[in-house]
Amino acid sequence: MSEAKIERVADFYHPEPTDFFRKYVWSYDHKVIAKQYLWTSFIFLILGGTLAMLLRWQIAYPNAPVPVLGSLLHGMFFFGADGSITPGGYLELATMHGLIMVFFVIIPLIVSAFGNFLIPLHIGARDVAFPLLNAVSYWLYLPAGLLIFASFFVDKGAAAAGWTAYPPLSDAAGASDPVLGMNMVLFALFLAGFSSILGGLNFLVTIVKLRAPGMTWSRLPLTTWAQFITAVFQVLATPMLAAVGAMLLFDRIAGTSFFIPTGLTINSELVANAGGGFPLLWQHIFWFYAHPAVYILILPSMGFASDILSAFSRKPVFGYRAMVISLASIMGLGFVVWGHHMFLSGMNPVMGMAFMISTVFIALPSGVKVFNWLGTLWGGSIRLQPPMLYALSFVSMFIVGGLSGIFMAASPVDIYIHDTYYIIAHFHYVVFGATLFSVFAATTYWFPKMFGREMNRKLSYLHWGLTFLFFNLAFFPMHFLGEAGHMRRLATSTGYEFLNPLAPWNEFITLSAFALGMSQLLFMYNFIYSVFAGKPAETNPWEASTLEWTIPNPVPVYNFKELPVVTRGPHEYSSPDTLPGDWLPQNAPANPSASAGH
Amino acid sequence: MSDQQHHAELAPSFHAERRNLRAMGMWLFLGSEVMFFTAFFGAYIVARSASIEPINHPLDKVLGALNTVVLITSSLTMALAVAYSKRGDRKKTGLALLGTLALAAMFLVVKGFEYHAHFAEGVYPSSDIFHGFYFMLTGFHGLHVIGGMISLSILWYRNRRGDFDEHYCDPIEMTGLYWHFVDLVWIFLFPALYLL
């Protein structure tokens, strides 16, 4: 830091620490915190994915011993004495797979990891608004994640009431077997929620207050716009989860009856709680949070895809303003659609109608986004490099998942397909097909800036092809299962005669899922190898125009030596200004003909 | 690197700008706090409007009213602390902070007597749904009061040490915002629990 006094917040940064602890553990640098989130959530992703593999094994080969893992861990966790998965263990796996993937993988990955890394670079800032708070967010998230995994190790295992934890199953003591496991899960969610609120608050202040000179709202990269709108969700919706989780903990620990109705009997025994509560209340408050959370899982991905599609089509994004407005309307509508999860819950059907209408409205902004992505591609000089392929897969898988969503938004249709494999297919198309493909896109795209090296392109092509193929083979047939009435969360389908003809499908899905899981090893290998031994990357390997590509590799601790002055929009490709090249950085001088070298 | 070390290198214009950042962050945090309590209030409204039975063991309105007065007064002393610290009057700031701390402690003592009376009567959170909400809402509010008291104690110490002057007193101002919020929650809790 120079001797002159620091005049402006934008000029301030924490100098690079020299000791290991302050550099890698308790770091204030948004880039280091982003990498902490990235590594942690990738590890959780592997673990959560392994749970899914076990689930699929049990569905395809009911009660057969699990190879390798079953013989190693028989009698422990969710394994029976013979190494097969017990029915209770199956529910545990299903519950924990959902919770881990939603709260400890996808949200930290797309919001915390990429948001932290990209927001200050995109807006031309030296760090986020509150670096200390940023470190606190990560150090709340990590213990929460460890706590949720620790719940597997306690007596009677982890939570098994579904990731939605509907009472009274999740509630009255004795109703759900794992007493301690469920409490630990609720507490972990409370911590993770707190981390998420602090993170969102930090991003909002950063984007509002720390934009570089000239970085107007209409020049923000769409990734940052999406992070901004996601952060509003985080700050306003996540406290609802904390509150409703606290109420459930009160019911379980202090014996209150917030969600326990009068006269509830379990195994023909009256529960001890006083009663007078409402199980439906949980669903209302939980989904008031969890539906916005569904958009937290997709909005940042929409941002990645918009910027990447534009850079690899060498065209400005089609309808920038419409893209922003559609993001904002998805957020606004997202707060008034939660009831579409509850058509069969005993809620007043009149409300079902209202929620159906508001939900179908979401198809409008989603449609605007899809058509604008197609419009961006139209007539572009498309470069089919790995990030582009992943981003294109994001768009196509989002279309499939979005369309199947419209079926479920219609309450008459939902009555038939509710809680079947149709919903599993739907949200995996959105959360795996769309979001995880966008994570692959973002990782391959920003990897050179994050680690200063390149990922191996051939391996990325191979990984993309295999993942795209096996993902569709694994999840598309689930639509058929759902239409045939195959219920979700069913440990063994062999007990139901009408499901027996579906057994070959289940085996096919499982084999495809295993192949899908194995394909991810390619990405893991590519990622880890490239971090340490990849080819050193150029400053701007993709010839992209946003600000992060104007700074050298590795990114210095202060990001920008001098704060950039932004003169143009985020997608400055193929405009007459850019001649003779086809792009200009966002901070290029206003009149390029005046600058030297052209 | 602590605030303390940086303090000398930071110009007043830096502090003024960072105060705005912190104020925005605090308002957003309070926004999320509002949503947190909204979930409880919403649930409480549903439960109360569905119940037709009178409440057994109603709450002590006098003690509730007393606590309302105590907490509103503490908001006054907090506002005074902010005003004095902005003028750079360290001595009066310290007194106002101590006053706020004392009133907060008094609030908790009164609340403790109320809790004690309930337990003596055999009324617990599990007794009925009303008392479940009562203990949960006042409990979370009490935790917020305790959090505020920890923060006030640190501020009192830092003020004594001389960390704050008229250019830099954001921690006091931000804690003030938070403290008024804690007060405001009670302004909603008192009628909702004691009077309805």
Is residue A190 predicted with pLDDT exceeding 60?
Answer: yes
- CA dist A296 and A431 (Å) reads 11
Residue A38: how many CB atoms within 10 A of its CB? 22
Tell me, what's the pLDDT at A12?
Answer: 86
User: Taking CB atoms and an 8 Å limit, are A255 and B39 in contact across chains?
Assistant: no
Work out the pLDDT band at A173, boundaries 50, 70, 90. low
- CA dist A261 and A264 (Å) reads 6
Residue A166: how many CB atoms within 10 A of its CB? 16
Under DSSP, the state recorded for B193 is I
Kindly report, residue by residue over A22-75, the tens digit of the pLDDT. Answer: 989 999 999 999 999 999 999 999 999 999 999 999 999 999 999 989 889 988
| Residue in A11, A208, A255 closest to B126 by CB | A255
Is residue A1 predicted with pLDDT exceeding 50?
Answer: no
Contact A119, A128 (CB under 8 A): yes
Chain B residues close to A236, C-beta within 8 Å: 31-32, 35
Under DSSP, the state recorded for A266 is E
- CA dist B20 and B32 (Å) reads 19
Location of structure tokens 């079926």: A407
Tell me, what's the pLDDT at B56?
Answer: 83
- CA dist A238 and A254 (Å) reads 23
- CA dist B114 and A512 (Å) reads 62
Search chain B and give the residue with CA nearest A207.
B21
User: Taking CB atoms and an 8 Å limit, are B43 and A247 in contact across chains?
Assistant: yes
Percent of chain A with pLDDT over 70: 97
Search chain B and give the residue with CA nearest A261.
B129
Which of the residues B2, B35, B119, B143 would you substitute to probe the A interface, choosing the one with the greatest number of A C-beta atoms within 10 Å?
Answer: B35
Could you tell me whether strands A265-266 and A269-270 are parallel, antiparallel, or unpaired per DSSP bridges? Answer: antiparallel
Work out the pLDDT band at A3, boundaries 50, 70, 90. low
Shortest Cα distance, chain B CAs vs residue A275, angstroms? 7
Q: Sort A211 into a burial class: Cβ within 10 Å, 0-12 / 13-18 / 19+.
A: buried
Averaged pLDDT score across all residues of chain A: 92
Percent of chain B with pLDDT over 70: 96
Tell me, what's the pLDDT at A505?
Answer: 95
Kindly report, residue by residue over A532-557, the tens digit of the pLDDT. Answer: 999 999 999 999 999 999 999 889 99
- How would DSSP label each residue in B61-87? HHHHHHHHHHHHHHHHHHHHHHHHHHH
Phi, psi of B28 (to 5 degrees): -65, -40
Shortest Cα distance, chain A CAs vs residue B36, angstroms? 5
Please name the residues between 220 and 259 in chain A that touch chain B, using a CB distance below 8 Å: 235-240, 242-244, 246-247, 250, 254-258
A446 contact partners, CB below 8 Å, separation of at least 6 = A114, A117, A118, A548
Search chain B and give the residue with CA nearest A28.
B1
Alpha helix (H) residue ranges in A418-561: 421-428, 437-451, 457-483, 503-533
Chain B residues close to A244, C-beta within 8 Å: 39
Query: Residue A396 is encoded by which pair of tokens?
Result: 């196509």
Chain B residues close to A15, C-beta within 8 Å: 1
Q: Sort A484 into a burial class: Cβ within 10 Å, 0-12 / 13-18 / 19+.
A: middle
Please name the residues between 154 and 193 in chain B that touch chain A, using a CB distance below 8 Å: none
Helix, strand or coil, per DSSP, at residue A236: helix
Q: Which residues pair with A6 in a beta bridge?
A: B10
- CA dist A528 and A443 (Å) reads 12
Chain A residues close to B5, C-beta within 8 Å: none
* Mean pLDDT value across residues B161-186: 95
Which of the residues B6, B7, B36 would you substitute to probe the A interface, choosing the one with the greatest number of A C-beta atoms within 10 Å?
Answer: B36
User: Taking CB atoms and an 8 Å limit, are A247 and B40 in contact across chains?
Assistant: yes
A125 contact partners, CB below 8 Å, separation of at least 6 = A10, A119, A206, A210, A211, A212, A559, A560
| Helix A503-533 vs helix A457-483: crossing angle, to nearest 10 | 160
Q: How far is CA B160 from the centre of its chain?
A: 22
* Mean pLDDT value across residues B76-97: 96
| Residue in A8, A246, A276 closest to B51 by CB | A276
Topology of the domain comprising A27-592: Cytochrome C Oxidase; Chain A (1.20.210)
Tell me, what's the pLDDT at A156?
Answer: 83
Residue A48: how many CB atoms within 10 A of its CB? 21
| ipTM associated with this complex | 0.93
Chain B residues close to A286, C-beta within 8 Å: none
Contact A595, A588 (CB under 8 A): yes
Amino acid at A145: G
Is residue A4 predicted with pLDDT exceeding 90?
Answer: no
Kindly report, residue by residue over A152-170, the tens digit of the pLDDT. Answer: 999 888 888 899 999 888 8
Q: Give the closest residue to A535 by CA, choosing from A424, A447, A408.
A: A447
- What architecture is the B3-195 domain classified under in CATH? Up-down Bundle (1.20)
Location of structure tokens 């191979």: A462
Under DSSP, the state recorded for A549 is G
| Residue in A204, A239, A257 closest to B129 by CB | A257
Which of the residues A26, A133, A205 would you substitute to probe the B interface, choosing the one with the greatest number of B C-beta atoms within 10 Å?
Answer: A205
Work out the pLDDT band at B194, boundaries 50, 70, 90. very high
Search chain A and give the residue with CA nearest B125.
A256
User: Taking CB atoms and an 8 Å limit, are B32 and A201 in contact across chains?
Assistant: yes
Tell me, what's the pLDDT at A578?
Answer: 83
Under DSSP, the state recorded for A303 is H
CA distances from A595 to A588, A589, B62 (A): 9, 7, 77
Tell me, what's the pLDDT at B8?
Answer: 54
Size of interface A-B (CB pairs under 8 A): 128
Helix, strand or coil, per DSSP, at residue A544: coil
Q: Give the closest residue to B104 by CA, choosing from B171, B178, B173.
A: B178
Query: Residue A346 is encoded by which pair of tokens?
Result: 């005993």
Q: Give the closest residue to A405 by CA, choosing from A285, A297, A284.
A: A297
> Which range (A268-272, A536-540, B7-11) has the least confidence?
B7-11
Boundaries of every domain in chain A = 27-592
